[in-house]
Amino acid sequence: MARDDLGAEVPLAGPAVRVVSLVPSLTEAIVATAPSVLVGATDWCTHPADLAVPRVRGTKNPDLAAIRALSPDLVVANMEENRELDVRRLRDAGVAVWVTRIETVEQSLTSMSRLFAEALGLTDPPWLEAARALWSSPTAPRLRVAVPIWRDPWMVVGSGTYTDDLLARAGLVNVLADQEGRYPTVTPDDIDRAGADVVLLPDEPYVFTADDGPEALTTPTRLVSGRLLTWYGPAMVEAHALLTTLQP
């Protein structure tokens, strides 16, 4: 019996061939590896841009009836992105669910490799091998950054998160990692006082733009792709190219 990242049993008779993904980054990873197995995804699954599969609403409010109607062999979810209640209801309805737990770069690589091997019967795809090679050697600290993820109230990336570990491995010191919580609530003054060389403003989950975000801060800012900061999967290869060469 296969077990997911949380140790829960996942009843699979063999490699899954009909998969519904409730995690945008895993959707991209599955399509890049075995596109024919994906039969459903959330409205937030935006990569690849031409993804044409039935949608099952959002990550926090999936349409469980629509998921069941797709007759999946497996639903893939994530401990942070999806609700335990929805996972439990799917399992109670007889649907196999594989929950990932990803809070570091190393966990992301191991988790996806296990998912592919144990649930899908696949070897590591080239993009995963490339990501593992790129992120195997951390870069020496060279730049101090802060990363807001929301506004009104302002929230930032804290410690114990995949993004914080990704930044550290790229040589970017998260100046707000000492705040309490994984995504601390702060003020713009808190961000400015933290002493970052640059504040990275992503386009998700909050869509920061040139006119919405920089004006509230005195610290220099840079707009970046939220996908490269928070998505594990093929985005990790692109993220390495951006983050390890980032300048203020």
Pair of tokens at residue 103:
């809070």
Mean pLDDT of 139-158: 97
pTM: 0.93
- Report pLDDT for 1: 81
CA–CA dist 144, 149 (Å, integer): 17
User: Does CATH number 3.40.50.1980 belong to domain 143-243?
Assistant: yes
pLDDT at 218 over 90: yes
**pLDDT tens, 85-131?**
999 999 999 999 999 999 999 999 999 999 999 999 999 999 999 99
**pLDDT tens, 29-69?**
999 999 999 999 999 999 999 999 999 999 999 999 999 99
User: Does CATH number 3.90.700.10 belong to domain 2-133?
Assistant: no
- Report pLDDT for 5: 97
- Report pLDDT for 6: 97
Percent of the chain residues past pLDDT 90, beyond the cut: 98
Q: 123 — phi, psi (to 5°)?
A: -85, 170
The pLDDT confidence band at residue 248, using thresholds 50, 70 and 90, is confident
Q: Match 């075995």 to its residue by tokens.
A: 34
Which helix (H) or strand (E) element contains residue 33? helix 24-33
Is the fold of 2-133 the same as that of 143-243? yes
Pair of tokens at residue 219:
């610290």
Largest CA distance in the chain: 57
Q: How many CB atoms lie within 10 A of CB 129?
A: 13
Pair of tokens at residue 9:
């049993």
Indicate the SS3 state at residue 181: coil
pLDDT at 247 over 90: no
- Report pLDDT for 180: 93
Domain regions of the chain by residue span? 2-133, 143-243
